[in-house]
Amino acid sequence: MKDTERTYRQIDFPPLTEEQKKRLEAVKSKKDEDIDINDIPEVDFSDASFFYAVKVPKKKIYTSISVDNLEWLKKGGKGYQQRLDNVIRWARSNNCPLI
């Protein structure tokens, strides 16, 4: 795998209902110029941060963490160490104070 590639797990969505299929067909049959996009706000990516553009090297460490924080991280299931890394990265990128 290249350093810039990322693997994604497949999500098994439930099958569409008949009503959902009808709505999709209705949208599909419209021409682009018939779709009203006036209520969609403009998106400004000038200050956006993208974390997975480059694979950052990691280092294994040993640390202690409060039980309540560990339980909170583990609520999301497998991958709690990655979530901890993401929380630290978010705090760093948002200039959260260390003290």
Q: What is residue 35's predicted lDDT score, i.e. its pLDDT?
A: 86
58 burial via Cβ count (<10 Å: 0-12, 13-18, 19+): exposed
What is the distance between the alpha carbons of residues 74 and 84, in angstroms, rounded to a whole number?
Answer: 10
What is the distance between the alpha carbons of residues 83 and 86, in angstroms, rounded to a whole number?
Answer: 5
Is the distance from CB of 85 to CB of 91 less than 8 angstroms? no
Between 5 and 39, the more confident residue is: 39
pLDDT (mean) for 28-50: 85
Run of H or E including 3: none
First and final C-alpha spacing in the chain: 39
Question: Residue 55: what residue type?
Answer: K
- The overall pTM is greater than 0.85: no
